[in-house]
Structure 1
């Protein structure tokens, strides 16, 4: 499932973009949830409340904000979302590039440029699907890139995911279930209550694993031997 947002203050233009996106998705048998926003502040509120999108298409100049400010808001909440600007204001192209906007489509070229931009954007999202962990609850959907996960620890009935930016994500699942869902040989149990990302290990000293964020985690002896073997394999594949 893909999650796509469209933000455009002009109602007719919003409807036109939404229709073109829906047609593209239907013609290519792509399952997606599409959300349309006529005001950028409504999109910002949803992002601040934790709403997730893989792809966001946005106008640049709107009454309540401009696309540059909106792009910064999006980057703050969803640093890995793909941004596509659909606008008539070419003067913003350089700024859009600096904000790592994926595509810049003039409204006059919507029919010509939008399908190609969607094709490449969706392929990028799909290629990253096996490199991320999805947290989905009744209240929120969030994707975490595997490379951003340092370690995971048990906390009661929850698994606490500690990330490279020091954020902590909680998911109400057992560590065993999370480990299966990660589906990556780079994540290893070091003891019953802790999983570490091998890519985030700096060193092993006796029965302690030193991680990239400075945290030290105890490793049980049986797990330690397995960890050393997995580390050797990992580094042989990445050197």
Structure 2
């Protein structure tokens, strides 16, 4: 299910965006899509629901779209934010927030359908990258993008998958997991960790810091090796 939230206080804009969404996904022959409408940021935040993409006016009553964006980015770094506005001067604020796209309302008909199509295709691609854990009767799908790291559990024959939304233990060898992941975003950090490059926060001379406050102490050789692999990864991505 592809879920869209729209926060817009102007009725005619809401109707126009709904028409554009409906028309675009009908053209793509996509049926598993929902669009939910909110008139204010406060109303949206009360629901506490996850969406694949959030389309928001910037100039809202109460909290602005920019205020809302800051809150959402703090909670979900990779959320797709699409800002709509009548005023070009808001563009700088949206870029600072790393919004997925900034669209002037006068350009909606031309730009919004293409933006939604691109987001949908990217989400579909993401959903195909996952790792199964568990046995025959209890399996769980872990999406690559949500894995922060995989680490050996000291003194046990288990590894722990540290996720953005929890952690799971599995009786598997670390090297086997690495082979099965088949993704350049995952690299070894020493012998006890596989880390997701997309979740590396910073690296010092003695430690690797991941999101969620995870700190991996490492020697100079490991630090240099990790830095080299990260640079190679981003070079290939670009």
**Secondary structure of 1:123's aligned partner:** helix
Residue 229 of structure 1 corresponds to none
Q: CA deviation at 1:24?
A: 1.2
Which deviates further from its counterpart, 68-77 or 26-35? Answer: 26-35
Residue 190 of structure 2 corresponds to 203
Unmatched 5+ stretches in structure 1: 135-141, 187-196, 216-233
Alpha-carbon distance change, 133 to 33 in structure 1, aligned in 2, over 3 angstroms: farther
Q: 1:110 aligns with which of 108, 111, 132?
A: 108
- Measured on the aligned residues, the alpha-carbon RMSD in Å equals 3.7
State the TM-score, normalized to the length of structure 1: 0.62
- 1:151 is aligned to 2:176: no
**Secondary structure of 2:50's aligned partner:** coil
State the TM-score, normalized to the length of structure 2: 0.62
Cα contact 1:152–1:160 (8 A) shared by 2 = yes
What does 1:33-52 align with in structure 2 at a 5 Å threshold? 33-46=34-47, 49=48, 51-52=49-50
- 1:74 is aligned to 2:72: yes
Counterparts of 1:25 and 1:129, CA distance in 2: 18
Q: 2:83 aligns with which of 82, 85, 103?
A: 85
Counterparts of 2:6 and 2:160, CA distance in 1: 32
Alpha-carbon distance change, 52 to 168 in structure 1, aligned in 2, over 3 angstroms: closer
Residue 60 of structure 2 corresponds to 62
Counterparts of 2:151 and 2:41, CA distance in 1: 35
**Secondary structure of 2:189's aligned partner:** strand
What does 1:1-239 align with in structure 2 at a 5 Å threshold? 1-30=1-30, 31-46=32-47, 49=48, 51-131=49-129, 145-146=145-146, 148-151=147-150, 161-163=161-163, 168-169=165-166, 184-185=181-182, 199=187, 201-204=188-191, 209-210=192-193, 213-214=215-216
Unmatched 5+ stretches in structure 2: 133-141, 154-158, 195-207, 209-214, 218-228
Q: How many residues align?
A: 184
